[in-house]
Amino acid sequence: MKIKLTTIYVDDQDEALRFYTDVLGFAPKADFTNGPFRWLTVVSPEDPDGMELQLARNDNPAAAAFQEALFQQSQPAVMFYTSDIKGDYERIKAKGGEFTMPPTDVTASIIAQLKDGVGNLIQITQLNW
């Protein structure tokens, strides 16, 4: 058994797709609609058949409340790992990423946080081991 998919709720799927591909550098994986429903995922270009991140519309009250509560508590909705946080920080910042925390040393890692522009905080982590 393996984990293949995780979901993040977003305010606007088109804007989310732009951010997660153009700014963060992920690749589109699936994008299809069925009536009002849109299934939209992105993947790491380093592992195109690996874990998918679903960019799901927050159009139900539970999803919207969950998303808003995490954001208000400064809790990241998702965490990505990198081996070059300072390089990724500079690359993402140059593409318009709005960081709420620059790369910061914490126990056993360096973390940075940024807004995704569609209702979430994102954490980028580089492990120090």
What H or E segment, with its residue span, contains residue 69?
A: helix 61-72
Domain spans of the chain, in order of start: 5-127
CATH for the stretch 5-127: 3.10.180.10
What pLDDT, on a 0 to 100 scale, did the predictor assign at position 24?
A: 97
What pLDDT, on a 0 to 100 scale, did the predictor assign at position 17?
A: 98
pTM (whole model) above 0.85: yes
What pLDDT, on a 0 to 100 scale, did the predictor assign at position 23?
A: 98
What pLDDT, on a 0 to 100 scale, did the predictor assign at position 129?
A: 83
Nearest to 86 by CA among 101, 103, 104, 108: 103
| Inter-residue contact 57 to 10 (CB < 8 Å) | yes
| Inter-residue contact 8 to 24 (CB < 8 Å) | no
Exposure letters 74-93 (e unless 16+ CB within 10 A, then b): eebbeeeeeeebeebbeebe
pLDDT, mean of each 10-residue run, the chain (129 residues): 95 98 98 96 96 96 95 97 97 98 97 98 95
